[in-house]
A = this chain, B = another copy of it.
């Protein structure tokens, strides 16, 4: 690489990081993209890996493949650990990376709100490994429950699947679990399926907070019709791996708690020298620069950044469109700085509306408002288009269609058996 070209360092290969790198790739700059994983993960479909619909390869795309023809983009597989703003250096577990401009697009992780015991015993759902853990565990519990020597209590505990959190992830996971159970019912001949249940627990009075109220109610209706026990206004206070304790005193014996109740920024944000919000996100200004940055070359976008301006009541939500829209602006602003122009653009978020699927052939879409099969088709299209790689688009389309028609789940394999 040429000496003297501006060095752009990007942390994170999610929606924001990949798009930013793609934009810079056509400029006369050197880009280093840092991620602890070697793949970009399509997180919105993670729940389908956890419920045996899709395989890992279909929602994970090698980061290097995005930049096959961009020789000025260098992938550096490492875990970011901090930023030394004074020295313009990113610190990783594989050494320091000097930068001229730094963009944090490091994403979010599960928020257990300080409940250590819950964190230790329940499943998060933000990474491929976590989705595979859920898949392996749920399938294995069916095998364990079908053993003749189980007591009725033990069997019922293993067949009680609890999802905490009524956001899109929780709703989608609960819906997908009921479908997985329908398929298990056809194939496990020696298990009493009256013992099997899926519970969705939500602390507030409603699910899908970003949706209009009638669609929220519609969602609860559809979930209940699918067999999900939806528990609103219900708060979790503890879980020891055996019994889930609710604030109202109820105790639910269960071996499976999937925690989709909150997100926070990744830990490393606190070691970047910026000011962080309560959920760990680093505060950024309207030009997307980290608030109080030592030098005018330090930006953050997406889930790891807290952005608020004008009359906003709270920071922008942690969703992909925020990250990709911010990618455009951070690219423009850094190009301005490189050219000596300090009159930076201000970021304005365009809300494109929300959508969530509740299972096979069922979804709700916020704008234009719709639900049912056509909403599901819209959801399917939007997600298919955004999947990385033509091949994944194709095979996922086939799998979903196949799944819709035949009701078969192809990925029901347990891959973590100790040999």
Contact = CB atoms under 8 A, between A and B. Distances in A.
Contacts of A389: 410
A394 interface: yes
B37 A414 contact: yes
A204 interface: no
Number of copies: 2
A419 B57 contact: no
Given A129-B417, A391-B399, A187 B68 contact: yes
A143 interface: yes
Interface string A104-140: 0000000000000000000000011100100000011
A76 B142 CA distance: 11
A250 interface: no
Nearest to A1: B190
Contacts of A94: 147, 149
Interface residues of A, number: 55
Nearest to A414: B38
Contacts of A55: 55-58
Contacts of A189: 71, 73-74
A383 interface: no
Given A77-B143, A147-B94, A391-B399, A39 B419 contact: no
A36 B417 contact: yes
A62 B413 contact: yes
Interface of A: 36-39, 55-58, 60-62, 64-65, 67-68, 71, 73-77, 94-95, 127-129, 132, 139-140, 143, 147, 149, 186-190, 389, 391-392, 394-395, 398-399, 402, 408, 410-417, 419
